[in-house]
């Protein structure tokens, strides 16, 4: 499904209307995310469509309906051999949950994914006798993401191999760099401030519960001897 600009705007407005019901502390951050989201991100945020997971190769691998050479599996993560690798031993690590973008994945699952990457890294280098390892994640069509399911590719590298990870290197104005840095830093500051306020509110609520005097425990009636 490719969305036209009107549909994209319509979805954006629907999401903005939905978050009005959210707690105030979460609303502002979500609002910014929705306003800045690309059409692809909005489509992904709509969640899996009917039958979509059955069509997804990585979901098939995760749930075992597609045969593959798994090298690791737990409740939230699967790692398997790339069947068209540069050398045998190239691995793809995916979350079991069908999500396209990093921002959609829970912190816990991201933690689990990278724990698996950390565990695999020396093993892949040893088995492939690689001189190095490129670890890449494509996000979106323009980045060459073929399946709309997050995947971490672990590609063994050697001096003089033909793997290409080039992008055009352009001279840009210092002001443009400064603007970009400011935009990102301000966004991070805002997120950190909101997260801090959220945590403080949580701590206050917890403190209120803990400092509430315990209700008197009624003495149980003694059983007759």
Q: Out of 59, 93, 105, 120, which residue is the one contacting Zn ion (CB under 5 A)?
A: 59
Q: Out of 34, 42, 56, 152, which residue is the one contacting Zn ion (CB under 5 A)?
A: 56
Instruction: Tell me the β-bridge partners of 133.
Output: 156
| Burial of 124: CB neighbours in 10 Å, binned 0-12, 13-18, 19+ | buried
Residue (of 56, 18, 28, 35) closest to 148 by Cα position:
56
User: Minimum distance between the CB of residue 56 and Zn ion, rounded to whole angstroms?
Assistant: 3
Cβ-Cβ contacts under 8 Å for 38 (sequence gap 6 or more): 140
Q: Out of 61, 149, 150, 155, which residue is the one contacting Zn ion (CB under 5 A)?
A: 149
∠ Cα 108 96 45 (to 5°): 75
- What is the DSSP code (8-state) at residue 157? E
> Looking at beta carbons only, is 18 or 141 nearer to Zn ion?
141
Q: Is 80 in the site for Zn ion (CB under 5 A)?
A: no
Of the listed pieces 48-56, 77-85, 151-159, 205-213, which binds Zn ion according to CB under 5 A? 48-56
Q: Is 96 in the site for Zn ion (CB under 5 A)?
A: no
Q: Out of 98, 105, 130, 154, which residue is the one contacting Zn ion (CB under 5 A)?
A: 98
How many Å apart are CA 155 and CA 107, to the nearest integer?
24
Q: Answer for the pair 152, 135: CB distance below 8 angstroms, yes or no.
A: yes
User: Minimum distance between the CB of residue 98 and Zn ion, rounded to whole angstroms?
Assistant: 3
How many Å apart are CA 57 and CA 149, to the nearest integer?
9
Token pair of 74 as six digits:
């737990």
> How many residues at the interface with Zn ion, by CB under 5 A?
5
User: Minimum distance between the CB of residue 57 and Zn ion, rounded to whole angstroms?
Assistant: 7
Of the listed pieces 81-89, 148-156, 203-211, 212-220, which binds Zn ion according to CB under 5 A? 148-156
User: Minimum distance between the CB of residue 223 and Zn ion, rounded to whole angstroms?
Assistant: 60
How many Å apart are CA 174 and CA 170, to the nearest integer?
12
User: Minimum distance between the CB of residue 33 and Zn ion, rounded to whole angstroms?
Assistant: 22
Q: Is 58 in the site for Zn ion (CB under 5 A)?
A: yes
User: Minimum distance between the CB of residue 101 and Zn ion, rounded to whole angstroms?
Assistant: 12
Query: In the Cβ-directed half-sphere of 194, how many Cα atoms lie within 13 Å?
Result: 16
How many Å apart are CA 80 and CA 211, to the nearest integer?
51
Of the listed pieces 4-12, 63-71, 93-101, 175-183, which binds Zn ion according to CB under 5 A? 93-101
Residues interacting with Zn ion, by CB under 5 A? 56, 58-59, 98, 149
């Amino acid at each position: 499904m490719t969305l036209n600009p009107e549909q994209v705007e319509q979805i954006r407005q629907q999401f903005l209307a939905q978050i009005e019901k959210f707690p105030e502390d979460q609303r502002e951050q979500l609002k910014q995310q929705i306003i800045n989201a690309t059409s692809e991100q909005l489509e992904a945020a709509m969640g899996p469509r009917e039958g979509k997971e059955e069509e997804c190769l990585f979901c098939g691998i995760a749930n075992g309906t597609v045969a593959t050479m798994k090298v690791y599996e737990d409740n939230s993560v699967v790692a398997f051999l790339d069947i068209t690798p540069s050398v045998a031993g190239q691995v793809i690590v995916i979350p079991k949950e069908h999500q396209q973008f990093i921002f959609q994945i829970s912190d816990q699952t991201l933690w689990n994914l990278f724990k698996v990457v950390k565990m695999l890294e020396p093993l892949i280098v040893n088995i492939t006798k690689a001189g190095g390892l490129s670890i890449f994640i494509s996000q979106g069509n323009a980045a060459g993401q073929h399946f709309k399911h997050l995947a971490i590719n672990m590609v063994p590298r050697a001096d003089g191999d033909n793997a290409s990870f080039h992008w055009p290197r352009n001279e840009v104005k210092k002001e443009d760099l400064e603007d970009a840095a400011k935009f990102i830093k301000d966004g991070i500051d805002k997120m950190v401030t909101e997260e801090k306020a959220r945590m403080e509110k949580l701590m206050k609520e917890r403190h209120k519960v803990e400092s509430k005097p315990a209700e008197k425990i009624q003495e149980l009636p003694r059983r007759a001897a």
